[in-house]
Structure 1
Amino acid sequence: MTHDSDNAPADIAWLRQLAEENGTGPMRGASILLAAGLIYGVTSLIHWAHMTGLILAQYAAAGMEWLIATGVFLVVCVTLILRLRRAEGVRTAAQRAIGTIWSGVGWGIFALFAAMFVVSARIGVDQNSTMFWLIPSIILAFYGMGWGVTATMMKSRPLGLLAVASFIAAPAVGLFAGSAAIYLAYAAALFLLMAVPGFLLMRQAKSA
């Protein structure tokens, strides 16, 4: 019995589809999570130093450090995305879902900040300062959703624990609302729940 060589391309395409739909593989894009955790974690420390007077106002205008951090992160993010695309191989369905959820998390946070800017411009910051103290908790809740989907798609219990930890950290950080200490707590959460896992997942992807 001979194999029809004309079917070889179809066979290869079928095997590729199986790999894409059923494979899991290492997480791609963990370097972006590492960058987000480091950049915004350091920025949170800078904001804490500003609030406590360790950095004088003329060196860190209130809120400007976050805008600068976002600009830096966007540059880093675009650079990492282009690098990932150049090295792109087979992407599984799980990897596509993970990429989609983290992209959604990023856009959701951006929409949140845009909405808060509009609200503060409309009613004034002093009329509803509570919403600004909620920002760290809301962002950590977003991260919890991202880790939850990632854990499900990768069938990873440790990542599931990260999701749980993020959800717990959201109200825990809120306990420090009204004081500069909230930004120390937020920085710790960003380092432990984003930067460190991102670094470990990046190393895992390189060794795979």
Structure 2
Amino acid sequence: MTQQTHILQQDISFLRALAEAGQRTPFTFGPFLLAGGLVFGVASVIAWAASRHLLGLEPDAIIWIYGIAMCVHGVCVFILARKANLTGASSFTNQAMARVWQSIGWCILTVFLAALLIMWRCQTTLVWALFPSLILGLYGTGWLVAALISGQKWLQFVAGSSFVGALLSALFINSPYLFLLYGSLLVLLLAVPGGVLMRKQNAVA
């Protein structure tokens, strides 16, 4: 019992130290989220236009639209990682958050590929029905971790809004405006907060 108490105290001390470090060090992942929100937000608008037969594309084109968006986002991440001069990027806080968002990115890619396999095996596109809600839920998790580490209350609001957006996307699953809603939420809950973090980081640099 004493050993368990000691371990718990160590964990609490670690989280407290991490939170204090997060409050002192500006987050440096803002540009990456800004790029992601804009790229996939635009992709969602294009997907909406394709779903409304405004572009003369087949329904399956939506999959390719998001696949291309993933490639474009990958290029953006590569360029930002090489060219960005990010003060504090080597801090433990930012290293931890980088791992969190990288893990979320790999999870999204894995689910995307799994959905393609399910669609191929079952010959159904219904597998994509949960995709917007899943993505927004993962983003909400990332923002919640960021809020916990930094102690910034506004990030809790972004996290909560992401979870609400995930539920809202589920309600709009049969609506022709789902892709517009999803694109708007990506801009509001990914690009805009990313821009705010980038502005805060530039102010400190």
Query: What's the TM-score, normalizing by structure 1?
Result: 0.82
Can you give the 5+ residue segments of structure 1 that lack an aligned partner in the other structure?
Answer: 1-18
Confirm whether residue 96 of structure 1 aligns to residue 92 of structure 2. no
Confirm whether residue 77 of structure 1 aligns to residue 77 of structure 2. yes
Give the count of matched residue pairs. Answer: 185
Distance 1:45 1:82 in 2: 29
Aligned to 1:55: 55
**Taking structure 1 as reference, are residues 174 and 199 closer, same or farther at Cα in structure 2, changes over 3 Å only?**
same
* Mapping of residues 28-177 of structure 1, within 5 Å: 28-57=28-57, 61-84=61-84, 87=86, 89=88, 91-125=90-124, 129-177=125-173
- Superposed displacement of residue 63, structure 1: 2.0
- Superposed displacement of residue 91, structure 1: 2.8
Runs ≥4 residues deviating over 6 A: none
**In structure 2, what residue type is equivalent to 1:57?**
L
**Taking structure 1 as reference, are residues 49 and 88 closer, same or farther at Cα in structure 2, changes over 3 Å only?**
same
Distance 2:122 2:155 in 1: 40
Distance 1:165 1:206 in 2: 26
- Superposed displacement of residue 82, structure 1: 1.5
8 Å CA contact 2:46–2:65 kept in 1: the answer is yes
**In structure 2, what residue type is equivalent to 1:198?**
G
Secondary structure at 1:63 match in 2 = helix
Distance 2:83 2:19 in 1: 24
**In structure 1, what residue type is equivalent to 2:96?**
A
8 Å CA contact 1:22–1:93 kept in 2: the answer is no
Secondary structure at 1:27 match in 2 = coil
Secondary structure at 1:134 match in 2 = helix
Distance 2:27 2:194 in 1: 10
8 Å CA contact 1:21–1:93 kept in 2: the answer is no
Aligned to 2:179: 183
Aligned to 2:21: 23
Q: Describe the superposition over 1:29-49 as per-residue Cα deviations: whole angstroms up to 9, x where unpaired.
A: 210100000000010000101
Q: Describe the superposition over 1:75-117 as per-residue Cα deviations: whole angstroms up to 9, x where unpaired.
A: 1111111224x65656332212211111111011011101111
8 Å CA contact 2:30–2:195 kept in 1: the answer is yes
Q: Percent of aligned positions with the same letter in both sequences?
A: 32
Q: Describe the superposition over 1:119-156 as per-residue Cα deviations: whole angstroms up to 9, x where unpaired.
A: 1122212xxx3321110000000000000001111111
